[in-house]
Amino acid sequence: MNKPSIMTIIVIICILIIGLYAMGEVNYFSSKISIERNIESPVIVIPSIGVQEKINNETLDQGVLHELNSYTPDSGDVLLFGHRTLQGSPFLRLNELHNGDSFILEWPGIGELKYKVINTTIVPATYQLSAQEGGNSAYLITCDPIGSTENRLIIHGELSETNPINDAILKNNPQESNALIITAIFLIIGLVFSFFYPKDNRIYILATILIVSAILFYCCINPIPSGMIYDKIIFLNGGI
């Protein structure tokens, strides 16, 4: 067996880095689905940008976070935070919302609340947004620009309509199979890449792909908190 060339070593390092990011996302979806499975959580739906995401009040690492210092929709303003890159990237396309667009909160015990976007703002990361008791607004907040924590993008929606809650949306979870999909994509692309790699070093690439894929499949079944991974590699991304 030939020794791995310098180029092969570099390629292996690149595969491992990609594998770490894939591992973060696999663990994110696997642990999040496991936590949400038996919990009746509020859901945010933004049809125009393909968002249907459960809302939690524990950590941003589980998706969309309801700021505990804000209120529920029946008592005041709602502040919702979401990652724009990594950790499922629920608010990746939030910048595509414009005045007049709508988003919906399905909130158990309260109902289906439709909000109309009335303002879009970019502010420094140090900006403090205060929720008003008795208010009828919802604020969607994420980082800006993509891959940076320098600023915050804030979408301000005003309550325009209230309807009975949609139980089907609460029970549905479109992210159920995302972890397996990410793992399968990594494996398939890796196998194709290794097939076309020079034969004298192909075995090293193939072995790396198979080992990382096996770890990803294991994480689908036995996830760890994705934050444990991203805390170690956040310097590679430069933001959230």
Strands 111-124 and 137-144: unpaired
Locate tokens 């076309």: which residue? Answer: 196
213 vs 60: which has the higher pLDDT:
213
Say if CB 141 and CB 152 are below 8 A apart: yes
For 30-52, how does the pLDDT look when each residue is reduced to its tens digit (9 = 90+)? 877 766 665 678 999 999 998 88
Lowest mean pLDDT among 19-28, 76-85, 161-170, 213-222: 161-170
Q: 207: how many CB neighbours lie within 10 A of its CB?
A: 12
Q: 239 pLDDT band (50/70/90 cuts)? A: very low
Q: Give residue 37's pLDDT.
A: 62
101-126 per-residue burial string, b: 16 or more CB within 10 A, e: under 16? bbbbbbbeeebbbbbebeebeeeeee
Summary mean pLDDT of the chain: 87
Backbone angles phi, psi at 79, to 5 degrees: -110, 120
Angstrom distance (rounded) from CA 125 to CA 92: 17
Distances, alpha carbon 82 to alpha carbons 85, 158, 198, in Å: 9, 19, 43
Q: 109 pLDDT band (50/70/90 cuts)? A: confident
Q: Indicate if the alpha-carbon torsion angle 229, 234, 236, 240 is positive or negative.
A: positive
Tokens standing for residue 33:
């689905």
Average pLDDT over residues 200-210: 94
Cis peptide before 225, with omega less than 30 degrees from 0? no
Distances, alpha carbon 83 to alpha carbons 15, 148, 170, 191, 204, in Å: 24, 11, 21, 31, 35
Q: What is the pTM of this model?
A: 0.77
